[in-house]
Amino acid sequence: MKQPNIIFIMTDDHASHAMSCYGSKMNVTPNMDRIANEGMRFDNCFCTNSICAPSRAVILTGKHSHLNGVVTLLDDFDARQQTFPKLLQTVGYKTAMIGKWHLGEGGHSDPVDFDYWCVLHGQGDYYDPLMKQQGVDKRFKGYVTDIITDMSLDFIKGRDKDKPFLLMCHHKAPHRPWIPSEKYKDLYNDVEIPQPETFNDDYSTRCDAAREAEMTVDHDLTYRDLKLVPPEGQVKVAPRFNKIAPPESLDGYTLTPVETGIPVSFNSYEELKNFKYQRYMKDYLRCVASVDDSIGEILDLLDKEGIAEDTIVVYTSDQGFFLGDHGWYDKRFMYEESLRMPFVIKYPKAIQPGRVSDKMILNLDFAETFLDLAGVKIPDDMQGQSFKQILEDENAPAIQTEMYYRYWMHLADHGIWSHYGIRTMDYKLIYYYAEALGKSGTIDETREPAWELFDLNKDPHELNNVYDDPQYADIIVKLKADLYKLKAEAQDNE
Ligand code: CA
């Protein structure tokens, strides 16, 4: 069979519960849904380390963080190591990496082995971003999602028609600070975004890790995040540190949106928290709307060029995100909203349209799957498994029913404790070992280690930690044995 083209579209921090094909109550994403409708949707796709750079490194290498070298956000990726794009290149693929790379700027971290590459510096800017094009710095005018889209369309149009291609189209959006395009700046102006069921979670059954997390909508969003005029004298501090904690009294207290310049006052703390939530979510969803347009343009071009049949298109994001769930933004925790990645894929030659699978797949499996689809032997040292069979046959067996997770960045950025854990189809067991272990960017203070157990069938929102409930004692013994077996199999000895 002819080797398929592969278009891997990935965003940064887009949670699946902000996609209409996953049942979003907040927005519609017709072009993301089109991939799902013409192909299939995975409802249990998880990442092994819910943080940007580490997840990207897992995707490229098919190896866990501790083996690919990107354990925390501050670790540079050594791009000389084995990756699936390089292996595809060796069998004749033309490869391109466009957009957000975010795997370091030093040493050997540039994506030099792609046939074409143009990547944002670090996190990248939403407007007029500085990019590195084949090693040369260049500033591009315009909105970042549009720039990455146009570059991707140009790569497809200018492809070598005798060869298959891999296009990695990686968007910055909808990463913080959630700055929308001009086109969508007024989208949702007259709409009230519904709050999630767990918006006012009090963490009462959880260990202290949840209470110490500094990523609440209520306390930790900043003037920059919410596009509010900062008070006089506070602008000297880096904008991301200007958090807006609720005041002691609401009397005379106001916040001023930059777009109107008109101060807003509040009758209650609930009203204040909701005001922040609305501003956060609306900008986030506006950023998503531009990505959805981008996907539509790519799908339309494939039709126009007559290559849709031969092309695999994937849409995913590097991890999930809290969209006010548990009162939070950001990710990092092993909780569902952060752990789960959107994953939709179409490939008309092999995938029946409209399929939905609840079989578990991981970011660790992507590299192996793409190699398998291209007919390339999967190297023995990759740690995931191909799910090609699941794509081709709805009766194919699951490739795994439990997964190993680890977050290493102890207390960094948002104060989340380091932890590892196991998720099965029914349970999640998390161990907060709460130590830095000398990893880059961590804070060298310890916390009292703690366990949490969730019965996912009874408690899908993970509000009820049942670790101390005697009726789960036998289950805990089994889950602990499985956790340490998975950890050993992953060759994680720390
Ligand atoms: Ca991310």
The pLDDT tens digits of the residues spanning 9-36 come to 999 999 999 999 999 999 999 999 999 9
CB atoms within 10 A of CB 4: 23
- Residues in Cβ contact with 298 at an 8 Å cutoff, skipping those fewer than 6 apart: 7, 9, 149, 152, 153, 156, 169, 313
CA of 349 relative to ligand 1 center, distance in Å: 31
Give the integer Cα–Cα distance in Å for 274 and 158. Answer: 47
**Cα gap 280→351, rounded to integer Å:** 37
* Structural contact between residues 413 and 421, judged by C-beta atoms closer than 8 angstroms: no
Could you give the angle at which helices 30-38 and 269-305 cross, rounded to 10 degrees?
A: 50
Q: Compute the distance from residue 46 Cα to the ligand 1 centre, in Å.
A: 13
- Upper half-sphere CA count for residue 372 (Cβ side, 13 Å): 18
pLDDT over threshold 90, residue 237: no
Number of Cα atoms under 13 Å in the Cβ half of residue 162 = 0
CA distance 88 to 325: 39
DSSP H or E run through 40: strand 40-46
Q: Round to whole Å and give the CA distance between 294 and 292.
A: 5
pLDDT in tens, 31-81: 999 999 999 999 999 999 999 999 999 999 999 999 999 999 999 999 999
Split at pLDDT 50, 70, 90, the class of 234 is: low
Given a cut of 70, whether residue 167 has pLDDT beyond it is yes
Centre of ligand 1 to C-alpha 468, Å, is 33
User: pLDDT tens digits, residue range 302-356?
Assistant: 999 999 999 999 999 999 999 999 999 999 999 999 999 999 999 999 999 999 9
The amino acid sitting at 480 is K
Q: What is the pLDDT of residue 1?
A: 62
Q: List CB contacts of 202: < 8 A, sequence separation 6 or more.
A: none
Q: What is the DSSP string of 3-30?
A: PPEEEEEEESS--GGGSGGGT-SS---H
Instruction: Give the Cα-Cα-Cα angle 191, 192, 198 (nearest 5 degrees).
Output: 150
* Region 200-204 average pLDDT: 98
- Across the range 215-235, mean pLDDT stands at 88
> Is pLDDT at 197 greater than 80 in this prediction?
yes
Residue 174 tokens read as 């909808």
Give the pLDDT confidence score for residue 424 in this predicted structure. Answer: 98
C-alpha closest to that of 12 among 131, 132, 127, 100: 100
Distance of CA 366 to the CA centre of its chain: 14
291: CA distance to ligand 1 center in Å?
Answer: 15
Q: Tell me whether residue 101 is exposed, middle or buried, using C-beta atoms within 10 angstroms of its C-beta: 0 to 12, 13 to 18, 19 or more.
A: buried
Contacts of 451 (CB under 8 A, 6+ apart): 207, 429, 430, 431, 432, 467
Instruction: Name residues with Cβ closer than 5 Å to ligand 1, which is an ion.
Output: 12-13, 52, 318
C-alpha 49 to ligand 1 mean position (Å): 11
Kindly give the distance from the C-alpha atom of residue 56 to the centroid of ligand 1, in angstroms, as a whole number.
9
> Ligand 1: distance of its center to the CA of 319 in Å?
6
Question: Is the torsion defined by CA of 453, 459, 462, 468 positive or negative?
Answer: negative
How many Å lie between the centroid of ligand 1 and the Cα of residue 13? 4
CA dist., res. 219 & res. 277, Å (int): 11
**pLDDT tens-digit profile of 402-413?**
999 999 999 999
Q: How many CB atoms lie within 10 A of CB 326?
A: 27
Q: What is the mean pLDDT of the chain?
A: 96
475's CB contacts (< 8 A; 6+ apart) are 427, 453
End-to-end CA distance of the chain: 44
Between 242 and 441, residue with greater pLDDT: 441
Tell how far the Cα of 295 is from the centroid of ligand 1, in angstroms.
19
Q: Tell whether the model's pLDDT for residue 477 goes beyond 70.
A: yes
What pLDDT is recorded for position 239? 61
- Give the mean pLDDT of 287-298: 98
CA of 330 from ligand 1 middle (Å) equals 9
Q: How far does the centroid of ligand 1 lie from the alpha carbon of residue 338, in Å?
A: 10
Q: What are the C-alpha distances in Å from 197 to residues 36, 276, 461?
A: 26, 17, 8
Q: How far is CA 149 from the centre of its chain?
A: 19
Dist. CA 215 → ligand 1 center (Å): 15
Element (H, E) at 86: helix 84-90
What spacing in Å lies between the alpha carbon of 14 and ligand 1's midpoint?
8
pLDDT band at 459 (very low <50, low <70, confident <90, very high): very high
| Ligand 1 mean position, distance from CA 218 (Å) | 22
> Which of these, 152, 215, 175, lies nearest to 9 by C-alpha position?
152
Given this model, what pLDDT does residue 230 score?
87
Q: How confident is the model at residue 236 (pLDDT cuts 50, 70, 90)?
A: low
Q: Within a 13 Å sphere around the CA of 474, how many CA atoms are in the beta-carbon half?
A: 1
Q: Provide the pLDDT for residue 238.
A: 65
